[in-house]
């Protein structure tokens, strides 16, 4: 007889065999869960999903009269406001006893007589000049003058000799350049285009595609909506706020200042302007510094040698001036006088510049007649009758039809209601099946019960 697994008995697809056993319980025939969760939390029956509590999107028209009661008005309970007692500070009373101004410094400090400190500065010794000092320094004694000879020049001799034959080679510019004859431009000949606008003799063709294709249509009258008349409410406006209701101005006195009077402590003794620094450090007489005499400048005797090594070693050479290698000019010499005319001078001659006179404003004479007050706008303006344009917006009225509404759909025609069956695998032991065993992979196998057939 065929055995059915729990996965095969399930018809909703939510129930499966628990894969949690191992090879140890293969032939035991008893299911041993391997986790604490399966031991403490058994499986429950099939639980249907919770229904949605979202309200349906339906328009609820207001049928009853609107009440002006809010949650604040219904829940709020007025209480009696009791004024809190105010703390009255005690009146300040100054003490009549005298203040003891003595300090530990005045008690412990003993004044001593201070004498000026003796000077530790050494006395200044002045050098006395008795005679001329005739001594030889160590530099003059150790240094000896040596006989220096003039060193010979290492300048190489010039072996270059100037050529005697004339240089007769031509350059690439002389070979390639071909002199051209310059033709003078004719006087008065200008290539500047004329600034005169050329006008067409043909008539102007003002026909456009808009004028050809445009068809004027008569405009319909604009629908004018009647103005709604404002209707004020008959109820009285309540302008009483919670601040005005709860707050009541109370007359009170200003608070008194509890700060004591500031009395400055002064001494009657006269201030002595002497300090310890002034007593210890007194000005001392300082002798003026000695000025060192600078010896007078004595120019050296004899004449100054202005010769240098360049003047002495330089040997002048006779050299000819190098001629330029410029090509020979083939310009023709004309005896005609120079014409200093140009197109600029001919087209733009000089004008006589006269100084502009003072521009005086013309005084407008005062009007003699009466002011009409008629402007050009008033005189030329022609009033036209305004034709209001009708609104093409459709009316906001629901369309009503006498034909009954056809609510037949394909879903309502083809839908066949089915009975919702409960999955057999949701029960601890499926009805119509008997538990057989559990294999090593964790699958539960059940045997189907066959009804007994009665023999005739």
Q: Which range (115-124, 290-299, 428-437) has the least confidence?
A: 115-124
- Band of pLDDT at residue 21, cut at 50, 70 and 90: very low
The answer as to whether 9 is a domain residue is: yes
Say which residue the tokens 């002006």 belong to: 68
Run of H or E residues at 245? helix 242-246
Confirm whether 369 is domain-assigned. no
Residue 229 lies in a domain: no
Is it the case that residue 30 has pLDDT exceeding 60?
Answer: no
C-alpha triplet 349, 351, 356: angle, nearest 5°: 160
pTM above 0.75, yes or no: no
Of residues 30 and 42, the one with the higher pLDDT is: 42
State residue 55's pLDDT score.
78
Q: Which residue has the higher pLDDT, 182 or 434?
A: 434
Q: Judge residue 329's burial from the number of C-beta atoms within 10 Å of its C-beta, 0-12 exposed, 13-18 middle, 19 or more buried.
A: exposed
Q: Quote the mean pLDDT of the chain.
A: 77
Give the pLDDT of residue 332: 66
Is residue 220 assigned to a domain?
Answer: no
- Quick: pLDDT tens for 269-311: 666 677 788 888 888 888 888 888 888 888 888 888 888 888 8
pLDDT for the residue 346: 84
336 with 182: CB under 8 angstroms?
no
Q: Which of 178, 173, 179, 160 is nearest to 325 (CA)?
A: 173
More confident site: 322 or 11? 11
Residue with tokens 């003796």: 118
Average confidence (pLDDT) over 366-394: 81
Stretch 330-337: mean pLDDT: 69
Higher pLDDT, 413 or 440: 413
The sign of the CA dihedral 133, 137, 141, 145 is: negative
Report, as an integer, the average pLDDT of 108-115: 78
Q: How far apart are CA 163 and CA 441, in angstroms?
A: 119
Check residues 11 and 453 and name the one with the higher pLDDT: 11
- How large is the average pLDDT for residues 375-393? 83
Q: What is the mean pLDDT of residues 59-77?
A: 76
146-168 pLDDT, tens per residue?
A: 777 777 777 777 777 887 887 77
The strand ranges marked E within 350-440 are 433-438
Q: By the 8 A CB rule, do 424 and 432 touch?
A: yes
> How far from 190 is each of 208, 259, 343, CA to CA, in Å?
42, 105, 6
Identify which has the larger pLDDT, 448 or 196: 448
Instruction: Report the pLDDT averaged over residues 21-26.
Output: 46
Question: What local confidence, expressed as pLDDT, does residue 82 receive?
Answer: 84
pLDDT at 417: 80
Give the per-residue pLDDT at 453: 59
Examine residue 263 and state whether it is found in any structural domain, yes or no. Answer: no
Q: What is the pLDDT of residue 24?
A: 46
| Confidence check: pLDDT of 20 > 60 | no
Whether residue 2 is contained in a domain is answered as yes
Q: State what percent of residues in the chain have pLDDT above 70.
A: 84
CA distance 4 to 16: 13
Q: Which two tokens stand for residue 365?
A: 């004479």
- 25 band by pLDDT with thresholds 50, 70 and 90: very low
Domain count, the chain: 1
Would residue 147 be called left, alpha or beta, if left means φ above 0 and alpha means ψ between -120 and 50 degrees? beta
Q: How confident is the model at residue 317 (pLDDT cuts 50, 70, 90)?
A: confident
Question: Is the per-residue pLDDT at 28 higher than 60?
Answer: no
> Could you tell me the pLDDT band of residue 112, with boundaries at 50, 70 and 90?
confident
CB proximity list for 190: less than 8 A, separation 6 or greater: 343, 346, 347
Residue 406 binned pLDDT confidence (cut-offs 50, 70, 90): confident
Q: For residue 105, what are its two tokens?
A: 């410094």
Q: Which domain holds residue 5?
A: 1-13+427-451
Tokens encoding 181: 């004859």
In this prediction, residues 409-422 reach a mean pLDDT of: 83
Q: β-strands 3-5, 433-438: how paired?
A: unpaired
Distant-in-sequence, close-in-space partners of 435: CB < 8 Å, separation ≥ 6:
429, 444, 445, 446
């Amino acid at each position: 007889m065929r055995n059915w697994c729990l996965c095969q008995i399930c018809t909703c697809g939510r129930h499966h065999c628990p894969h949690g056993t191992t090879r140890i319980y293969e032939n035991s025939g008893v299911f041993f869960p391997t986790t604490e969760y399966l031991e403490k939390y058994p499986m429950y029956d099939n639980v249907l999903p919770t229904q949605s509590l979202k309200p349906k999107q339906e328009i609820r028209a207001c049928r009853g009269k609107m009440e002006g009661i809010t949650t604040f008005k219904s829940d709020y309970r007025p209480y009696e406001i009791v004024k809190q007692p105010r703390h009255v500070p005690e009146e300040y009373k100054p003490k009549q006893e005298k203040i003891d101004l003595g300090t530990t410094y005045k008690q412990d400090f003993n004044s001593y007589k201070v004498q000026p400190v003796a000077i530790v500065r050494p006395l200044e010794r002045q050098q006395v000049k008795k005679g001329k000092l005739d001594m030889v320094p160590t530099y003059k004694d150790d240094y000896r003058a040596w006989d220096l000879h003039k060193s010979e020049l290492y300048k190489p001799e010039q072996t270059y000799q100037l050529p005697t034959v004339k240089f007769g080679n031509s350059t690439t510019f002389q070979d390639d350049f071909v002199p051209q004859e310059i033709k003078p431009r004719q006087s008065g000949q200008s290539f500047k285009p004329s600034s005169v606008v050329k006008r067409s003799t043909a008539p102007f063709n003002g026909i456009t595609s808009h004028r050809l294709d445009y068809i004027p249509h008569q405009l319909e009258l604009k629908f004018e909506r009647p103005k709604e008349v404002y209707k004020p409410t008959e109820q009285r406006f309540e302008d009483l706020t919670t601040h005005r209701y709860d707050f009541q101005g109370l007359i009170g006195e200003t608070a008194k200042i509890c700060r004591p009077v500031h009395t400055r402590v002064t001494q009657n003794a006269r201030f002595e302007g002497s300090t310890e620094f002034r007593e210890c450090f007194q000005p001392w007489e300082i002798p003026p510094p000695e000025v060192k005499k600078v010896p007078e400048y004595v120019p050296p005797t004899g004449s100054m040698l202005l010769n240098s090594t360049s003047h002495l070693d330089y040997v002048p050479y006779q050299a000819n001036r190098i001629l330029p290698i410029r090509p020979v000019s083939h310009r023709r010499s004309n005896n005609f006088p120079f014409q200093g005319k140009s197109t600029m001078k001919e087209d733009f001659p000089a004008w006589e510049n006269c100084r502009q006179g003072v521009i005086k404003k013309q005084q407008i004479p005062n009007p003699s007649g009466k002011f009409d007050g008629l402007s050009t706008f008033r005189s030329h303006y022609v009033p036209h009758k305004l034709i209001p344009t009708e609104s093409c917006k459709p009316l906001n009225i629901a369309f009503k039809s006498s034909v009954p509404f056809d609510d037949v759909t394909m879903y309502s025609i083809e839908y066949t209601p089915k009975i919702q069956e409960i999955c057999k695998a949701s029960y601890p032991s499926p009805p119509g099946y008997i538990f057989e065993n559990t294999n090593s992979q964790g699958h539960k196998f059940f045997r189907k019960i066959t009804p007994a057939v009665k023999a005739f």
